[in-house]
Amino acid sequence: MSATALRQAQGPAGQAQGPAGQGQGPAGQVQGPASGSTTPHPRLSVNQATIKYATLPEAVAAVTAAGVTSFGAWREPVQEYGVAASASLLTDSGLRVSSLCRGGFFTMPEGPARRTSIDDNRAAIDEAAALGAPALVLVVGGLPAGSRDLIGARELVRDAIGELTDHALESGVQLAIEPLHPMYASDRAVVSTLGQALDIAEQFAPEAVGVVVDTFHIWWDPQVLEQIARAGATGRISSYQACDWATPLAADVLLSRHYPGDGVVDFGSLTRAVEAAGYTGDIEVELFNQDIWDSPFQQVVDRTVDAFQATVVPHLDHDDDAIHHP
């Protein structure tokens, strides 16, 4: 379904319009928290997926109205608005772009489909560079049709990334491998742990390939703290995403991400580990949840600000709130 169709399905309740949605001056500059009562932490980034049915201009309006200063972009809304126009909109708004989602889906055998995927990922790198995004998030793809060979599928991922690293380095964009929870291994990501992601990433220069630390996907891993330290030791933490896990899962398990604090994730230990590993970049909240998507955009952004303040901010190093990308 297209972004336009999704917005039509949502209806007027999702529109970020009217006085409550205004938080910008004439040139679109961020002016501070005009909507909610909490001043956002400077490292908070709201990912567009959290307000999926918003157009890019509507998402920028809602985020800036809340005083948030960073934004995680998705390719589909950017393409719909136009890459050059999107870059201008984001620059004029004063927002940093913390990442671009997504590239990947590398696990098909050699042939036309694989060549199309590689070409599309090169285009995604170009889009990330045009937006000023330091990282392109990679969802690597599930098992090839009819295959049970997880190890072989990860080799296909490694080989595809190897074809892209030169272009990534030339463009100043880090390829960010995102391990997904094992329940997605068959259809979305054969990389399920930070350890597996790092085993691939470490075959390439850290400036070219890093990893995403997404609490929803890795909170359960007994080795997660030592793997976060391993990632930080070579500057490979491309992004830190703070989202919660709660059961029962949605019927569509993809839509099971919750506001931080609404589930069982220990944000204290994970955030402290990421801080200790040396990561000082933006921290994204990216929520796939139908109830959240069906809520008004500004309400969602304001609640995201509050949830982040309550669950993540207490564990950050407040001696240095400057944002430094890998």
The pLDDT assigned to 112 comes to 97
- The model's confidence at residue 319, banded by pLDDT at 50, 70 and 90, is low
Q: Which of 21-35, 43-57, 122-136, 298-312 shows the lowest mean pLDDT across its residues?
A: 21-35
- Does residue 301 surpass a pLDDT of 70? yes
Question: What are the extents of the domains in the chain?
Answer: 3-315
| 121 pLDDT above the threshold of 50 | yes
Please say whether the beta carbons of 81 and 318 come within 8 A: no
Task: Give the CA diameter of the chain.
Answer: 56
Q: Are 54 and 14 in contact (CB under 8 A)?
A: yes
Write the burial class of residue 126 (CB in 10 Å: 0-12 exposed, 13-18 middle, 19+ buried). middle
Interval 280-299 mean pLDDT? 98
Dihedrals phi, psi of 264, to nearest 5 degrees: -115, 0
What percent of the chain lies above the pLDDT cut of 90? 85
Given this model, what pLDDT does residue 38 score?
83
- What proportion of the chain, given as a percentage, has pLDDT over 70? 86
Residue 321 has a pLDDT of 54
The kind and range of the H/E element at 70 are strand 70-74
Phi, psi of 181 (to 5 degrees): -50, 145
Lowest mean per-residue pLDDT among 26-40, 273-287, 290-304, 306-320? 26-40
**pTM surpassing 0.95?**
no
More confident call, 293 vs 13 = 293
**Mean pLDDT of the residues in the chain:** 90
Tens-digit pLDDT profile for residues 237-267: 999 999 999 999 999 999 999 999 999 999 9
DSSP 245: E
Write out the H or E segment, with its range, that includes residue 61.
helix 56-65
pLDDT of 90 over the 90 cut? yes
**Rounded distance between C-alpha atoms, residue 193 and residue 199, angstroms:** 10
- Tell the burial category of 146 from Cβ atoms under 10 Å away from its Cβ (0-12, 13-18, 19+): exposed
Using alpha carbons, list the distances in angstroms from residue 197 to 16, 110, 326.
37, 22, 17
Model pLDDT for residues 174-187, shown as the tens digit of each residue: 999 999 999 999 99
Phi/psi of residue 241, each to 5°?
Answer: -115, 130
3-class DSSP string for 297-311: HHHHHHHHHHHHHHH
Query: What was the pLDDT predicted at 325?
Result: 55
Q: Which CATH class is domain 3-315?
A: alpha beta
Confidence (pLDDT) at 317: 87
What is the distance, to the nearest Å, from the Cα of residue 240 to the centroid of all Cα atoms in its chain?
8
- The pLDDT score that the predictor gives to residue 153 is 98
